[in-house]
Structure 1
Amino acid sequence: MTKTKYLNKLSQVSQLADIPAAELRKLEEVEQRYAFRSNEYYHSLIDWNDPQDPIRRIVIPHKDELERWGQLDASGEHNYAKTRGLEHKYPDTALLLTSDVCGGLCRFCFRKRLFMADNNEVNRDVSAGLEYIRNHPEINNVLLTGGDPLLLSTRNLETIISELRTIDHVQIIRIGSKLPAFNPFRILDDPDLLRMLKQYSLPERRIYLMAQFNHPRELTPEAVQALTQIREAGVAVMNQTPLIRGVNDDAATLTELLNKLSYMGVSPYYVFQCRPTEGNSAYTVPIEEGYQIFSEAISKCSGLARRCRYSMSHVSGKIEVVGMTAEQIFFRYHRPADLDQNPGEIIACTRNPDSYWFDDYMDDGPAAVANCR
């Protein structure tokens, strides 16, 4: 079995031994506030001679994370918590927070609060969440997330999936995971995982793997092989990525990522506006700049690669950016949390190049609201 060592402290990263002492102290200060975790396989993808290497930016702390900006729960997920470890935001979809561990911690993570000592949102005992789902027949879609569900043992993951399969109204099971990028050997070296997925991914009730590849260099031969085996087990594979400053915030890189995924049979699903989570200022691109990058990128993609949407997971729902003119930017609710919201309605706002989130178009109160309708 192939092993990759997990690293939970910056002091374990030998490649950082030669950086200036003052810089290292800053990174350790970041580590004290926001947890660090990575592994040797993922570090092998980094060009350590390049301080701006995009893979390095994904997983190695940066001093700018200390800038006070954003909030820990930028999308108000706590508003939709129905029992510990379960969120129910959209009528037909429930989220089970099954794990508080990841194969690596993305520096721009929107749930970094889960990895803080005083957080208790995750519940590894999912029995209360399963009971809630049983009692809500409108739920036909359950997303296992966290943390990373694929870091559960196969036995524990199978227990959850098998229980969900006893609930008749649950048609789709989704597994949100970055492990195919962080450590594909979790898949390659566990035939029991593939057997289990094949058993429960049924012809009319599929399991979906919601992968997260942020940069084309993550699509190594090992990662491609892991995704191939997942697909051969009957699991549909989708990809979603935020747009990240210094990682994929240029059209050529994003085009390459979306095209490569589509060539493999992995459907690009969402390109997300990076959430204004605390500590994320160095990783976030303004909405209008991001939409321009996205638009240029998909213009060079095939139709299969350009099915993804540029969206933000706002407290009020998934809001898609659908276009811009010289003076206005246009949004629509791809998925409103409020059923009274018309998902077909176009929201036109006066452009603001300094906006990082939908709320920024509303910050000036009634006058701003009048400019968005």
Structure 2
Amino acid sequence: MCILTQDPVIREEQNWLAILKNAISDPQVLLKILDLPKKDFEYALNARTLFALRVPQPFVSKMEKGNPNDPLFLQVMCSDLEFVQAEGFSTDPLEEQNSNAVPNVLHKYQNRLLFMVKGGCAVNCRYCFRRHFPYDENPGNKKSWQQALDYIAEHTEIEEVIFSGGDPLMAKDHELTWLIKRLENLPHLQRLRIHTRLPVVIPQRITDEFCAILEKSRLQTVMVTHINHPNEIDELLAYAMKKLRNAGITLLNQSVLLKGINDDAQVLKNLSDKLFQIGILPYYLHLLDKVQGASHFLVGDNQAMAIYKTLQSLTSGYLVPKLAREIAGEPNKTLYTE
């Protein structure tokens, strides 16, 4: 008797979608899993009303139980410090809404454009500079994507499309296929860049089908992962990155310099080492964007430069990311120097 089994491509996609569906959204559940006492976080729990908690199980499994200062836990756990109204912090620190030309498009740069594929993320990082962004006005569906495609078609100076969000890999593989094929039909486009944190929190997202989509594309493809701490890198992530490398994808990483998480030159050196071991080249180390609710993550400019100088002395030049900040209205990122 012939037993029909499920298509492996469908099964693979359902796997990451199931993990996503079961992501933790209740901070009390997260505390229980990590053996952390609720009484120590009573005020912090209220911050979920400002920005929802969301973290998938694969990322939680990398956290140290019983450690309230675990660097991965601190990135996702709501904090009472999010209620602080710090001077110079705003809901739109990069003034991106001024560049929101049509739905799902941020045209901030001359030859490249941000395409906001999806508004949601698999993980809600508390320092996210788009935690207040009006995603409802930028729906991630084919109708709004077509408006963005029409805009790109009209602007022939655009050479590179940057998939952003939210997280663009929240789109399913068949949706990405639809979108990338239409971008390929625009002759002035040369490159596709994908900014994502999803493989870091759900490595299973890097499906064989997704790799095949990118490998077959005529567009030169770059993936920029968002990894802030060496503890985020494990064997599952390494395997996912190997699949992408085998598909010919260039892998870069950008980090955010975060107080209490990676504001230490040795930690950053370890991060660069582990990134390079799995085939990712350090790209940018960003100074914090001053978004309301994240002031407790800020590392001052003088301290940032001191950390950066020490990092330069600890490792090879090609393993030192560029220290940069994004300034609203500027045509490119600003490299931070003395």
**TM-score, scaled relative to structure 1:** 0.80
Tell me the amino acid that sits aligned with residue 127 of structure 2. F
Tell me the amino acid that sits aligned with residue 65 of structure 1. E
Match of 2:235 in 1: 221
Q: Residue 314 of structure 2 aligns to a residue in which SS?
A: coil
Matched, 1:6 2:23: yes
Matched, 1:82 2:89: no
Matched, 1:319 2:334: yes
- Counterparts of 1:12-51 in structure 2 under 5 Å? 12-13=29-30, 14-15=32-33, 19-21=37-39, 23-51=40-68
Tell me the amino acid that sits aligned with residue 99 of structure 1. K
Instruction: State the distance in 2 between where 1:84 and 1:57 align.
Output: 33
Aligned residue among 49, 56, 66 for 2:83: 66
Instruction: State the distance in 1 between where 2:90 and 2:150 align.
Output: 31
Shift of 1:78: 1.1
C-alpha deviations, 1:279-315, integer Å up to 9, x for none? Answer: 1111110122112112211221213212x21111111
Matched, 1:299 2:313: yes
Matched, 1:163 2:176: no
Shift of 1:249: 0.4
Q: Residue 28 of structure 1 aligns to a residue in which SS?
A: helix
Matched, 1:269 2:283: yes
Match of 1:92 in 2: 111
Report the count of equivalent residues. 314
Tell me the amino acid that sits aligned with residue 316 of structure 1. G
User: Which of the pair is proportionally richer in strand?
Assistant: 1
Instruction: State the distance in 1 between where 2:185 and 2:38 align.
Output: 56
Tell me the amino acid that sits aligned with residue 293 of structure 1. I
Gapped runs of 5+ residues in structure 2?
Answer: 1-11
Highest RCO, 1 vs 2 (Cα 8 Å, sep ≥ 6): 2
User: Which of the pair is proportionally richer in helix?
Assistant: 2
Match of 1:127 in 2: 146
Q: Residue 242 of structure 2 aligns to a residue in which SS?
A: helix
Query: 2:36 touches 2:66 (CA, 8 Å); kept in 1?
Result: no
Query: 2:167 touches 2:197 (CA, 8 Å); kept in 1?
Result: yes
Shift of 1:18: 5.4
C-alpha deviations, 1:90-126, integer Å up to 9, x for none? Answer: 1101111111111111111111113x7x842444331
C-alpha deviations, 1:27-81, integer Å up to 9, x for none? Answer: 3310011121111111111113111110111111122111112111101111211
Q: Percent identity?
A: 25
Query: 1:177 touches 1:212 (CA, 8 Å); kept in 2?
Result: yes
Structure 1 pair 85–182 and aligned structure 2 pair: CA distance change class (3 A): same
Matched, 1:112 2:138: no
- Counterparts of 1:335-346 in structure 2 under 5 Å? none
Instruction: State the distance in 2 between where 1:47 and 1:119 align.
Output: 36
Shift of 1:268: 1.1
Shift of 1:24: 3.9
Instruction: State the distance in 2 between where 1:222 and 1:88 align.
Output: 35
| Structure 1 residue ranges (4+ consecutive) displaced by more than 6 angstroms after TM superposition | none
Instruction: State the distance in 1 between where 2:41 and 2:306 align.
Output: 36
Q: Residue 178 of structure 2 aligns to a residue in which SS?
A: helix
Instruction: State the distance in 2 between where 1:16 and 1:251 align.
Output: 27
Q: Residue 90 of structure 1 aligns to a residue in which SS?
A: coil
Aligned residue among 194, 201, 206 for 1:182: 201
Structure 1 pair 18–270 and aligned structure 2 pair: CA distance change class (3 A): closer
Q: Residue 269 of structure 2 aligns to a residue in which SS?
A: helix
Match of 2:4 in 1: none
Query: 1:45 touches 1:217 (CA, 8 Å); kept in 2?
Result: yes
